Amino acid sequence: MGTVQSQVRGQEGLEFPSFDGKDRVLDINERNYKKALKRFDMLCLLYHEPLPTNKGMQKQFQMTELVLELTAQVLEDKDIGFGMVDSQKDAKVARKLGLEEEGSLYVFKDDRVIEFDGELSADTLVEFLLDVLEDPVELISNAMEIRAFERMEEDIRLIGYFRGEDSCELGKHYKAFQEASERFQPYIKFFATFDKAVAKHLSLKMNEVNFYEPFMEEPSILPGRPLSEMDIVDFVNQHRRATLRKLRAEDMFETWEDDMDGIHIVAFAEEEDPDGYEFLEILKDVARDNTNNPELSIVWIDPDDFPLLTTYWEKTFKVDLFRPQIGVVNVTDADSIWLDMSNDEDLPTAEELEDWIEDVLSGRVNTEDDDVADDGDDNDRDRHDGGDRDDNDEEDDREEDD
């Protein structure tokens, strides 16, 4: 009996939410948009195309609406409003609110507008919005928090050292840091400390800000002290494309759109798999050795993070994602070419990987290679067919002479 009760309690403690049927998502129009902005601390608006007539597209639209409804239900006590804006019917409202891209989700918080560029699923959206609700700067004041900060190697991080909160200097330098952080929340993480011991451990001087690129062991120091808001913003914008960056559900489309001349160098590796972990460590070594190369940016994808996309990627790129892979992908047509790693015994060394990357950056390896080979086959067939046609033409000419 005790076991049964334990199972019941466990089930009650693990109840995933399901839509309760209550409509919470507003139809935003010219009459109610101002009221909605005032009513909620944060307003989340989906800017969408007019309702499609195609039944399949209608189902897709309903699924998207259901994602918003479930998110609104889960976050009901967080004072977040949700609405939908029709790009045709509510075009005037869209212009007034600055909505531009159909299918995009815009979050209005205070005087800021944040565009959500991630996977439109309830769990991803809930996590994203909870991050937006938090203060844009997190304070670090002890050794445990330092350790947590140092373990966040996958993220871009900034940390600054400033005088205590009661200091009159706070209004100048820390406030500039705060205002810069709001421009990047929640995609880039900002930290600050007022503690001398923490600053010493992180080698920070007063009013100094360090920038940590993902997977790099040492930070870059922002030039100049003290820094203005725009000093920080400009530096982040210039350095936010990391040498090695992880594709994340919350900003996957922004990352994919930030290509290098129409291509991405893409690496697939499961971090929990021994081979995947080893390959990721090799990628980190390559990234650290080439961190000053502005032409190099590798997108690391852990297939475990995107189970719904794994089969699609395997079919599209014709690769086995149960093994580590690295290749070049053309973002226009998804054409790709991959480094041959069919040897079951050894993964490529950092030096071999660097040689291949150098060939990619120089253009010696590119996604058109396969196309050229295919064109060559077609040309061979054309030449063969053309030869046959020439022989026939000569016979016809002889017959005409006769």
Residue 86 CA to residue 94 CA, distance in Å, equals 8
pLDDT, residue 381, reads: 40
Q: 45 near 28, Cβ under 8 Å?
A: yes
Residue 232 has pLDDT above 50, yes or no: yes
Q: What is the mean pLDDT of residues 44-61?
A: 92
Residue 390 has pLDDT above 50, yes or no: no
Closest CA to 28 of 76, 101, 77, 87: 87
pLDDT, residue 346, reads: 84
The pLDDT > 90 percentage for the chain reads 79
pLDDT, residue 367, reads: 84
pLDDT, residue 389, reads: 45
Q: 243 near 290, Cβ under 8 Å?
A: yes
Residue 253 CA to residue 251 CA, distance in Å, equals 6
pLDDT band at 163 (very low <50, low <70, confident <90, very high): confident
pLDDT, residue 16, reads: 86
- Structural domains in the chain? 17-133 (3.40.30.10), 137-239 (3.40.30.10), 244-368 (3.40.30.10)
Can you give the pTM of this predicted structure? 0.85
pLDDT band at 225 (very low <50, low <70, confident <90, very high): confident
- The residues with which 115 forms a beta bridge, in sequence order, are 106
Residue 52 has pLDDT above 90, yes or no: no
The pLDDT > 70 percentage for the chain reads 87
Question: What average pLDDT does the structure give for the chain?
Answer: 89
Greater model confidence, 65 or 372 = 65
pLDDT, residue 165, reads: 60
Q: What is the mean pLDDT of residues 152-164?
A: 93
Residue 399 has pLDDT above 90, yes or no: no
Residue 128 has pLDDT above 90, yes or no: yes
Amino acid letter, 284: K
Helices (H) and strands (E) in the chain, counts: 14, 15
Residue 315 CA to residue 76 CA, distance in Å, equals 40
Q: 271 near 304, Cβ under 8 Å?
A: yes
- The residues with which 265 forms a beta bridge, in sequence order, are 298, 328
Residue 206 has pLDDT above 50, yes or no: yes
| Tokens of residue 91, six digits | 């075009």
Q: What is the mean pLDDT of residues 20-24?
A: 95
Q: What is the mean pLDDT of residues 227-246?
A: 96
pLDDT, residue 166, reads: 59
pLDDT, residue 14, reads: 77
